[in-house]
Amino acid sequence: MKIDERSKYLRKLIIKMVEVGNRGHIGSAMSLVEILRVLYDDFLSFRANVPNWPDRDRLILSKGHGCLALFSILADKEFFDKKELSTFCQPKSILGGHPEYGKVPGIEASTGALGHGLPIGVGVALAAKIQNKNHKIIVITGDGELNEGSNWEASMTASKHKLNNLCLMIDYNKIQSYGKTSEVLELEPLNDKLKSFGYQVLEADGHNLDQIQSCLYNFKHCKEKPTAIICHTVKGKGISMAENNPYWHHKSNLKESDYEEIYACLKFETLI
């Protein structure tokens, strides 16, 4: 599926941060763009000028190494000045290689130690239930991250308490830090596994805006159980040499010729 101008724009912001910081999880961020775009453009309830608004929906990016994508959309939504993107990974910047709660407006949890986001999300969702709050909690994990047993313990708790206010979104790009997920530790049959842990399970092309929206609509109207959305994505989406390439999980010290090729894929114009 081709990416439109808005998705290209968000990817350009990501690459500009990589260029400034001279490092970043490029492949891991690019597979997230459309997922985050739909959430912040069309689904989540928030007030960018009041990041801690009590009735906001909560988004926890458990795969914290994909934070470049989250920083780009938060800046786009004016949680913080877009100029901050030009300080990525600099000594006094609020933006580092992983999201930090209390430092970056809009960040709900410090993540990157994989397997922590879903347990946190379950706790937040359970607290909302106890307090009779109606906000939704979204947790985004990577597929390799599901190797962590803490996700499955949290899933059992979510099912036990019928946390229909919780949605687990899996960025299923089929590649983790050092190879294909199927070779490192096979997840399939993932749909059946999630169902057995008590989820309503939905699947979408993770770069198809309409499919993602449809799944989130079904989550919103599910009354009996937590929801899991398997988002089938392409690692490095939008950059031809990075797509489905495990060597682009993280990159540093890219050459000028690399950036020229990247910007050619995105038809780059100066944005920040």
With a cut of 50, say whether residue 215 has pLDDT above it.
Answer: yes
With a cut of 60, say whether residue 258 has pLDDT above it.
Answer: yes
Upstream peptide bond of 189 is cis (omega within 30 degrees of 0): yes
How far apart are alpha carbons 133 and 101 in whole angstroms?
Answer: 22
CATH number at 101 reads: 3.40.50.970
User: Quick count: other Cβ atoms within 10 Å of Cβ 269?
Assistant: 9
With a cut of 60, say whether residue 101 has pLDDT above it.
Answer: yes
pTM for the whole structure: 0.95
Which pLDDT belongs to residue 58?
98
Residue 248 domain flag: yes
- CB contact set of 186 (below 8 Å; sequence gap of 6+): none
Q: What is the mean pLDDT of residues 263-269?
A: 77
With a cut of 70, say whether residue 269 has pLDDT above it.
Answer: no
User: Quick count: other Cβ atoms within 10 Å of Cβ 91?
Assistant: 5
Which pLDDT belongs to residue 121?
98
- Please state the length of the chain: 272
User: Quick count: other Cβ atoms within 10 Å of Cβ 221?
Assistant: 9
SS3 64: helix
Enclosing domain of residue 174: 5-266
Amino acid letter for position 258: D
Residue with tokens 């912001």: 13
With a cut of 70, say whether residue 6 has pLDDT above it.
Answer: yes
What confidence tier does 159 reach under pLDDT thresholds 50, 70, 90? very high
Residues 210, 213, 217, 219, Cα dihedral to 10°? 120
Residue 271 domain flag: no
Structural domains in the chain (count): 1
How many Å is the maximal CA-CA distance in the chain? 55
Residue pLDDT, tens place only, 86-98: 999 999 999 999 9
Helix and strand numbers (H, E) in the chain are 10, 9
Q: What is the mean pLDDT of residues 27-51?
A: 97
What confidence tier does 271 reach under pLDDT thresholds 50, 70, 90? very low
How far apart are alpha carbons 174 and 163 in whole angstroms?
Answer: 27
Which pLDDT belongs to residue 272?
45
Residue 220 domain flag: yes
Q: What is the mean pLDDT of residues 176-191?
A: 93
| Lowest-confidence region among 158-172, 190-204, 235-249 | 235-249
Yes or no: say if 87 and 100 are a contact pair by the CB < 8 Å rule: no
The mean pLDDT value of the chain amounts to: 94
SS3 224: coil
Share above pLDDT 70 across residues of the chain, in percent, rounded to a whole number: 98
Residue 17 domain flag: yes
Q: What is the mean pLDDT of residues 167-188?
A: 94
Helices (H), the chain: 5-21, 26-30, 33-38, 67-76, 117-130, 149-160, 181-184, 190-196, 209-220, 256-266
